[in-house]
Amino acid sequence: MVSASEITEHMEIVGADGVHIGKVDHVQGDRIKMARKDAQHGQDEPHHHYVQLAAVASLDGGKVWLSADAVNARQLFEEEDGSPAEFSG
């Protein structure tokens, strides 16, 4: 398992396929709190989403690599209360 102390603010989060998913806001307990806004990639969520540290496969090249590819990674996202993330539109 990846050490939470190695994950830093603004690191890029990518799927196992290398496709951009988001950016780290910070680590909160055993989860990564993701940045709401990422203008470079057109991301403007109404609130933060979270991903469990257990879903992180590795840290490499200054990126957080998830165990799922980008298409399936949204299924790993959680709301603040731990429930599955809901997406608008």
Please state the domain extents for the chain: 4-76
Question: Residue 27 and residue 16: Cα distance in Å, rounded?
Answer: 20
Between residues 24 and 48, which one has the greater pLDDT? 24
Which pLDDT band holds residue 88 (cuts at 50, 70, 90)? low
Rounded to the nearest integer, the mean pLDDT of the chain is 90
What is the pLDDT, as a whole number, of residue 13? 95
pTM of the model: 0.88
> Once rounded to an integer, what is the mean pLDDT over residues 21-33?
95
Q: Is 61 left (phi over 0), alpha (psi -120 to 50) or beta?
A: left
The dotted CATH code for 4-76 is: 2.30.30.240
Facing residues of 37 across strands?
44
